[in-house]
Structure 1
Amino acid sequence: MALPTVQVSVYITNQVTRKILIVHCRSKDDDLGAHAVAVGSSIHWSFGPNIFGARTVFWCKLAVQDKRISFVAYEQERVTYGDWVVRDDGVYARPYGHPMFLHAPWTQP
C-alpha cells in the first residue's frame, strides 16, 4: 500500500510600491535560485515535505533596491503559513486571505 502524496505550496506576492522584488529561497536540499517578481505578481512552488527524518524548512531572502529581509517561509515542525505578501513595511502572512504582519521591517546593509 502506497503512502498518500502530500503537497505543500508556498506563495510570495509582491505588493511593494512600484518596485521589483528579488526572491531567493532554499531548503537544505533545494536551492530555488533568485527570481525577479514584478509588482502584483507572485512566485510559488510546491513540494512534498519529508515524512521521515529531518523536517522541511524553506528560508527566503528578499531584496528591493538597497533593502533586505530574511525569513522562514515554511517550517514543517511549526505552524507556518504558505501564503506571504511583501509590502513597503515588511512581510505579512496571509492566513485565510487576511494579511497579518509577522516579520521585522526591511533592513539596509
Structure 2
Amino acid sequence: MKALKQDMFVTSALPILLLMMLVASSKAIFFDKKNVTIRNEIPGETINIQCYSSEDNLGSHDLAYGASYSWHFRVNLWGTTKFWCDFTTKHGSGNYGVYTRNLDELCNGLFQWLVKENGLCLIMDALDDQLYCQRWKKPPSLL
C-alpha cells in the first residue's frame, strides 16, 4: 500500500514539476513584455495601419509623417502569439507580420518598424540596428 501511495504521488507530481520547469526556463519568452512601434517616415504623407492578432484587434490608425503608433503585450503560454498589420500608403500597401517569435532573437523584445516609400523596414537591435526591409506587396493604386 505504501508503494502504491508513492507511485501515485510521483505520477501526479511529475506533470506539475515539468510544467514548473517549462515556465521557469521560458520566462523570457512568455512573461517579458514585447513592444511594437510603427513610425511613418514618408515625408508629407499620412498612412493608415490596422494591426491585430488572433486575440486582439487594435483598430485603424492614421499616422502623419513622423508620427508613431505603439503597443505592448505578453506572448501567450504556447508561444504562438503573432501580430500583423495592414499598411496603406500612396506608394503601395500590404499585410505584414510585425511580431513573430522568430523575429524576437533579432529585436530583443523591441520591434521598431519604419514605414518608408519603398516598403516596411525593421530595426534589428541584435544586429547593430541593421535594417531588414520588405518591399510593398501591392503597387500603388491608380485611383
- TM-score, normalised to structure 2's length? 0.65
Contact 2:91 2:118 in 1 (8 A): no
Structure 2 CA distance for aligned equivalents of residues 84 and 67 of structure 1: 16
- TM-score, normalised to structure 1's length? 0.83
* RMSD, aligned CA: 2.3
80-89 vs 94-103, which moves further: 94-103
Contact 2:124 2:132 in 1 (8 A): no
- Structure with greater Cα Rg: 2
- Structure 2 residue matching 1:19: 3-state secondary structure: coil
User: Residue in 1 aligned with 2:82?
Assistant: 57
1:104 is aligned to 2:124: no
Contact 1:89 1:106 in 2 (8 A): no
| Greater helix fraction, Structure 1 or Structure 2 | 2
Q: State the number of aligned residues.
A: 106
- Structure 1 residue matching 2:55: 3-state secondary structure: coil
The letter of the residue matching 2:80 is R
Structure 2 CA distance for aligned equivalents of residues 54 and 99 of structure 1: 26
4+ residue segments displaced more than 4 Å: none
User: Residue in 2 aligned with 1:70?
Assistant: 95
| Greater strand fraction, Structure 1 or Structure 2 | 1
Deviation at 1:6? 1.5
1:70-89 to structure 2, matched below 5 A, reads: 70-76=95-101, 78-80=102-104, 81=107, 82-89=111-118
Deviation at 1:21? 1.1
Q: Deviations over 1:52-76 (max 9, x none)?
A: 2351000111001473121100012
- Structure 1 residue matching 2:72: 3-state secondary structure: strand
Structure 1 CA distance for aligned equivalents of residues 116 and 83 of structure 2: 20
Higher RCO (Cα < 8 Å, 6 or more apart): 1
Deviation at 1:36? 0.5
- Structure 2 residue runs of 5 or longer lacking an equivalent are 1-23
- Over the matched positions of the two proteins, sequence identity in percent amounts to 22
- Structure 1 residue runs of 5 or longer lacking an equivalent are none
The letter of the residue matching 1:79 is L
User: Residue in 2 aligned with 1:8?
Assistant: 34
